[in-house]
A and B are shown apart, each in its own frame.
Chain A
Amino acid sequence: MLLENSGFFSSEPVQTALIVGTCAALVSAVIGVFTILRGNAFAGHALADVSSAGGAASFLLGINPLLGFLGMAWIAAFGMEFLGVRKVRERDLATGIVLGAGLGLSALFLYLDVTTTSTTGAAVSVMFGSMFAIPQSLIGPALVASAGVFLLVGLLYRPMMLTAVDPDLAAARGISLRWIGLLQLLALGLAVAVCALAIGAVLATALLIGPAGAAIRLSRRPAQAIFWAMAIGLTAVWGSIWMAYESYYWFSGNAWPVSFFVVTLVFLFYLTAVLVAKVMGLSARQKPVIWPHCEA
């Protein structure tokens, strides 16, 4: 057992997976809480899905996959902004249209990947991630992207939080909703890119909204919610990397994908948080005014 564990930490792919996974969990916890408070879970998911087109294109062009994910996520963010995401009634449709077009592009790029280059596994690794196959050279860019998110949120924490919780009040205080919204989308794009690199573009949503959704049920203050989201996200990611590594022995040489464990753990944590909140009487109705958008 001891021997196996020492093998776990000294293995190079595991080290890379742990670093990138930790970045993804921390960054998505911070951004996730804002995203859910703004009621933007669908938009967050859409950005992540569309970023898969960037990941696929990066295989084709031979550029850094993180840049590919990021570029496409930002393009999608501007597209949604342009199509009128501000009006709540139109938001759902505009998000959906951008999502559809982005996935279409992703289909084309993946097809071209398979036909023109010989990267047969591109579809699976872009969509569902393969954490143990992340090259070591991507650790640096992932750290830079995460630092960017923390810098943006650190500088703009108060106006961002006020805008998320009560846009009218924020506007009355003289905060430019347009700029804050745009900066937040940029931060969301960075977070999505790191998550997509770690657990795959279409599964990135699990880290983005799962831990934050659970944390919001458990806490009464935004900062507390971010802390809980980080704790849940880290536990899920570290636990899944370990389980995926060990599953090689459990299923006689047929290791299960890390992303599957991440998604399952996040889901279980969410269910637990909902139950705990119910037992402890933290139901949505009794929540203090700080969560005005938390309708039942």
Chain B
Amino acid sequence: MFSSFMINTWIASTAIAFVAAFVGFFVVTRRSAFAAHALPLGAFPGAAAANLMGINPLIGMLIFVGMGVFLLRQLVRMGRRDVGTGLVLVLFLGVGALLLSMTSEYAPAVFSLLFGEVLGVSDADLWPILGICVLVVVGIALYFRPLLLDSTFPDLAALQGIRAARMDLVFLTLLALVTATALPVVGAFLVFTLLVGPPAAAQALSGNPMRVLVLSVMFAEGCIWSAIALSYWTNWPIGFFVGTIGAGLFMGARSYRHWNQRQRNFLVV
């Protein structure tokens, strides 16, 4: 499991889970799970197009996810947020379905794009992934305070002169970058669980932002490490393990909180 061809996967997934936890923290506090679900699927046709044209998939995904952010902002401005998000999502998926119908390598390629592949990371892939992760960390460090304020108390943020539209763009850009790096490993559908599951579980356990961040990094790393290990042993798709472990973490955290509150109420009564 730790043989040489797996080393890159371990390094890349550790970096991806780290940044996913940070961006996911904002996904959860901003309640934008739908956008976090839509953007990875926006990146998916990029990978298909890159396959078709024979260029680096990362470039294709970055281009498409960039277009996704642009379209999402335009459509959300024009109408209801959830309807706009949903339509951008299906539009990109439809294009992806078209591009996939054109390629000759059919089922396995589709499957690994949608649900992830453990052995997908080569030496040449590793450096761009790490570079983008560093970029995301720098972006979060720069915008952490205004983004947090805008996500929790939008009115107060507006009073302090923080522009909501700009914060939205910063958030979506960071989300897009994480998405494009995480997609080949975890798969288009399950990037979303990695983003939402661990921070949602962490938030159920604590109200302090710093503690939530630390917890969600721990949960995300635990989630992806165990998913890779289980996927390596069983040969089942990594997406299955990420999805169920993410949901399990959330359920566990919620039950723990519930139980804890009952205990406390009991003492007070």
Contact A202 B93 (CB under 8 A): yes
Interface residues of A in 94-125 (CB under 8 A from B): 95-108, 110-111, 114, 120-124
Name which residue of chain A comes closest to B94, CB basis: A263
Contact A270 B115 (CB under 8 A): no
Contact B246 A123 (CB under 8 A): no
**How far is A263 from B89 in the complex, measured between Cα atoms in Å?**
10
The verdict on B187 contacting chain A, using a C-beta distance below 8 Å, is: yes
Contact B82 A107 (CB under 8 A): no
Question: A252-275 interface mask toward B, CB cutoff 8 Å, 1 = contact, 0 = none?
Answer: 001011011011101100100010
Question: B160-204 interface mask toward A, CB cutoff 8 Å, 1 = contact, 0 = none?
Answer: 000000000000000000000000000101101100110010000
The verdict on B90 contacting chain A, using a C-beta distance below 8 Å, is: yes
Cβ of A80: which chain B residues have Cβ within 8 Å of it? Answer: none
The verdict on A209 contacting chain B, using a C-beta distance below 8 Å, is: yes
Contact A203 B93 (CB under 8 A): yes
Name which residue of chain B comes closest to A274, CB basis: B78
The verdict on B91 contacting chain A, using a C-beta distance below 8 Å, is: yes
Interface residues of B in 69-120 (CB under 8 A from A): 78-80, 82-83, 85-87, 89-91, 93-95, 97-98, 100-102, 106-108, 110-111, 114-116
Contact A41 B94 (CB under 8 A): no
Task: Choose among B32, B34, B110, B242 the residue with the greatest number of A CB atoms under 10 Å from its CB.
Answer: B34
Closest CB in chain B relative to A202 CB, distance in Å: 6
The verdict on A69 contacting chain B, using a C-beta distance below 8 Å, is: no
Contact A107 B190 (CB under 8 A): yes
**How far is A296 from B244 in the complex, measured between Cα atoms in Å?**
37
Closest CB in chain B relative to A287 CB, distance in Å: 12
Q: Please report B residues at the A interface, Cβ cutoff 8 Å.
A: 28, 31-34, 36-37, 41, 78-80, 82-83, 85-87, 89-91, 93-95, 97-98, 100-102, 106-108, 110-111, 114-116, 187, 189-190, 192-193, 196-197, 200, 236-237, 239-244, 246-247, 250-251
User: Which 8 A-B residue pairs are closest in the complex by CB-CB distance?
Assistant: A104-B243, A263-B94, A100-B193, A101-B247, A41-B82, A96-B33, A107-B239, A107-B115
A-B contact pairs, 20 of them (CB 8 A): A41-B80, A41-B82, A41-B83, A45-B34, A96-B193, A96-B196, A97-B200, A107-B116, A107-B237, A108-B236, A111-B111, A120-B106, A123-B111, A124-B107, A202-B90, A203-B93, A205-B86, A206-B91, A267-B87, A267-B91
